[in-house]
A and B are shown apart, each in its own frame.
Chain A
Amino acid sequence: MLLKLAFRNIFRHFTRTFLTFLAIALGLAMLIWIDSLLTGIDQDSFEKIINYETGHIKILDRGYREDEENLPLDKSIEKPDSIIEKLKEDPDVAGVTSRINFRVMLSDGVDQYPAVGIAINPADDESVFLLRESIDKGVFFMGDEEAMLLGEALAEDFRVGVGDYLTVLTRTKYDTYQAIDLRIKGLLRTEDTKIDYAAVVIPLKLGQDSLDMGTGVTEIDIKLKDPSRIKEFRERLAKEVPGLEVATWKELAADVVAIAQAKRGGTSFVLFSVFIVALIGISNTILLAAFERTREIGMMAAMGMRRGQIVRLFVLEGAMIGVFGSITGCLLGILLNIHLVNYGIDFGYVMRDIGDIGYRTTAVMRGVWNPTMIVTAFVAGIIISAITSIYPARVASRMEPTEALRKA
């Protein structure tokens, strides 16, 4: 009977109930949608960092990371071959390669833009990274040749294409200037901002020669067969390469992880506020209902309804609005998420103007399915609706029957 009564009561003022319900539904749908988008961007960014920038684990010279910003060439691994050979035979390792990262000024004779140079080993780079698959125009290196691959957006800035030449200005390990004219062999489209907007990729041999690195590299990159065992592997590897530093991708991308978390924190706070507003709506709706139905409450009390039963009636009404709001909110969230997961949103037109915001996404941001979040949102919607109804319900139950009956 209480259920039936509560159900009919919430439809007494259809517009008011509908607006309250809508606030909850939209709040939940937004929560699900934003969570999906943020988780999607995080996952996507992390995947790109792993696939284009760090691999799962990197070996660096000790001290390199303190000066990481400047891409120091003097902090290099002089003889990487023996380590690489050994790692190639390691049963946990799926792939291993080595790179040199260096600072570059790129010039077409008129304009000049800063960029990041990456010297890669064309023979084994694809065992760790996905650059070969990301060639949009032109071709990948056949071997150690005098050519470069360029981030597609960077090429657009210079209005150059495959076959054109650009001058790469850099400094060698011994800080002397070096300039080489290189033909663009291919354009890279990775959707990783660090690559597409700023990368100049050259073969390792060319890099070692023009940077006076000898046989040295700045990093050895490793891809694991089972990424979940990354910590154990890191510990084992650290013992095997004394004098060098072993870092996981998470440590290397610590700033991105931190930025992602900070953004998430900010967004969660805004969303939480939206949710709270919706819930104040419920509380208000129930409180209004309690005051409007004063006489009715008095009559129910006169007929022998206990205070607890009156509280239960109003809490049930709040919870029911919560149930309808949560069902609709979750369905709406799922519906919006289908689009977000399958098609994503193209932020391409703003991302270039915004520049580097930490996320490694240049264009389409996609959501992911997060069932835990959907279930949490659903349950929280109902429980919190019920809880916020407790106060107005108690107000209703505390009315003295005689007082309540006297009121018109």
Chain B
Amino acid sequence: MPAVKMEKVIKNYRVGRVEVPALRGVSISIEEGDFASIAGPSGSGKTTMLNLFGCLDKPTEGRVYIGEQNVARLSSNKLADVRNHNLGFVFQTFNLIPVLTAFENVEFPLILLKKGKPRERKESIMNILTQVGIGELANRKPMEMSGGQQQRVAIARALVKGPKVVLADEPTANLDSVTGESILKLMLEMNQRTKTTFIFSTHDPMVMSYARRLIKVHDGQIQSDERM
């Protein structure tokens, strides 16, 4: 069963007076439990695909499904709700809230979801922090952690509410290769343990080598889609 799906999606951006096509009729289905990499050079449309799956943007034409719900024409508040309930995000620059501790950063989406009592929340947060290997850093603020540790917090934050899909936009681009690899191993491990679908974009061959499904895009179109 598809976790997310695109049907004949066209996405154009307006730059000044010029319409620039970013996606030219993309159709693709990502199955539940996939560990999929969208790969391609910069400007190929991979981030646009990720944004559309992430309900951060709307297609110019076509349909985008999260589960069975077409989200292409939802209002921004409805989209916020869809993101809140179904999606987790990992960003290239970690994007943790600097004034909150690791624990509080992971707690943040749960509070937005109004999920669980404080004690249950604490248990699940500590559990996920331990799973991503930074249980002992729960009380540190982002500034007191390394890039790799921050990205682990971000992964924990994305996973803590048990989303259908975790979307990661070049999650290792700001990390050195050793740390980047450890983050990928962690993501793969979490994918296998929790059966959460992971979709991540990259142009790094090392990252692609970890993917269980590799979708190559070029000039706004899917060039190849292969299972590894």
A residues near B (Cβ < 8 Å) are 1, 4-5, 8-9, 11-12, 295-296, 298-309, 400-402, 405
- Going nearest first, the 7 A-B pairs with the smallest beta carbon separation are A304-B84, A8-B99, A299-B95, A304-B83, A1-B111, A401-B56, A402-B56
Cβ A299 vs Cβ B100 within 8 A? no
Question: Which chain B residue lies CB-closest to A295?
Answer: B95
Contact of A12 among B84, B89, B98, B157 (CB under 8 A): B98
A303 touches B99 (CB 8 A): no
A9 to B99, CA, bound (A): 7
On whether A405 and B56 interact (CB within 8 A), knowing A302-B89, A305-B112, the answer reads yes
Closest to A401 in B: B56
> Least Cβ distance of A339 to chain B in Å?
39
**CB–CB B83/A1 < 8 A:** no
The stretch that binds A, out of B33-41, B74-82, B185-193, is B74-82
Residues of B within 8 A of A302 (CB): 54, 56, 83, 89
Could you tell me the distance in whole angstroms from the C-beta of B46 to the nearest C-beta in chain A? Answer: 14
Which chain B residues numbered 44 to 84 have a C-beta less than 8 Å away from chain A? 51, 54, 56-57, 76-77, 80-84
Which residue on chain A has the smallest CB distance to residue B141?
A: A8
> Which residues does B use to contact A, with CB under 8 Å?
51, 54, 56-57, 76-77, 80-85, 87, 89, 91, 93, 95, 97-100, 104, 107-109, 111-113, 157
A-B contact pairs, 20 of them (CB 8 A): A5-B100, A8-B100, A11-B99, A12-B98, A12-B99, A295-B95, A299-B95, A300-B97, A302-B83, A303-B109, A303-B112, A303-B157, A304-B82, A305-B112, A307-B76, A307-B80, A308-B77, A400-B56, A401-B56, A402-B56
Q: List residues of chain B with CB within 8 A of the CB of A304.
A: 80-85, 87, 109, 112-113
Instruction: Please tell me which one of the listed residues A9, A11, A306 contacts residue B77 in the complex, with CB atoms under 8 A apart.
Output: A306
Q: Assess the B80–A305 pair: CB atoms within 8 A.
A: yes
Cβ of A405: which chain B residues have Cβ within 8 Å of it? 56, 91, 95
Q: In the assembly, what is the distance between CA of A405 and CA of B93, in Å? A: 10
Q: Which residue of A lies closest to B109 (CB)?
A: A303
A401 to B85, CA, bound (A): 17
**A343 and B41 alpha carbons, distance in the complex (Å):** 78
Q: Tell me if A303 and B89 are in contact (CB < 8 A).
A: yes
Q: Which residue of chain A lies nearest to B158 when distances are taken between CB atoms in the complex? A: A303
Contact call B80/A301, Cβ cutoff below 8 A: yes
B123 to chain A, nearest CB (A): 18
A402/B83 contact (C-beta < 8 A), A295-B93, A296-B95, A296-B97 known: no
- Chain B residues with Cβ below 8 Å from A301 are 56, 80
Closest B residue by C-beta to A303: B109
Q: Specify which chain A residues have a CB less than 8 angstroms from the CB of B100 in the assembled complex.
A: 5, 8
* Other A-B pairs beyond A11-B99, A303-B108, A304-B80, 16, CB < 8 Å: A5-B97, A12-B98, A12-B99, A295-B95, A299-B89, A299-B91, A300-B97, A301-B80, A302-B83, A303-B83, A303-B157, A304-B83, A305-B112, A306-B80, A402-B57, A405-B56
